[in-house]
Amino acid sequence: LLNYIDVGAQDSEIKRIVALRDNLFVLKEDGVYIVSGTSAPNFSVTLLDNSVNMTAPDTAAILNNELYCLTSQGVATISDTGVGIISRGIENLMNSATNTRVTNYKTASFGLGYDNDRAYHLWLPTKTNDTVATQCYRYNFFNRTWTRFVVSATCGGVNPNDDKLYYGDGENNFIR
């Protein structure tokens, strides 16, 4: 109760808070903010970019010390140096999954970072009546290339013990 910081407009909802190395990134409806400092008396808030707004909170994932997520501008990378859009090449494909006809894409979509694979995985619904994500777009940050897999999933993660990607099957109650 004693230590708090106001970030952005009070009437703007916080979508996600993610820590990267030395900063805390606050993704709100009105933009991306950085909270930095070493202790409560010297914390500061800086607006990084107010033109990019996160649209699907569960798409946020850390990869290669950057934050990847689905925003109003497309798939973005966020770091302390700024925001970059990486999905320009597949914008036409992604727009069909993230337009207003697919009403649940904000809740059905999710993303994850897979460091040893050098890839960000973004699961999205395909059709207007999909209740779960039914396709995965994989971005390789070394090659800067996208690939698409038709696979139904509800969640996912990388197991640090065996360094394998696991995801919850979208059609059955199984982990793949």
Q: What is the pLDDT of residues 7-48, one digit of tens each?
A: 989 999 999 999 998 899 999 988 999 999 888 788 899 999
Under 8 Å between Cβ of 147 and 136: no
Number of other residues whose CB lies within 10 A of the CB of residue 94: 20
Confidence at 102, pLDDT banded by 50, 70, 90? low
Tokens of 63: 């990869």
Q: pLDDT tens for residues 133-176?
A: 999 999 999 999 999 999 999 999 999 999 999 999 988 889 99
Contact 133, 152 (CB under 8 A): yes
Q: When comparing pLDDT for 104 and 37, which is higher?
A: 37
C-alpha span between 88 and 111 (Å, rounded) = 18
Structure tokens that stand for 16 in this block: 């996600």
> Hey, what amino acid is at 111?
G
Give the pLDDT confidence of 47-64 residue by residue, as tens digits. 999 998 888 999 999 999
Write down the pLDDT at residue 86.
Answer: 95
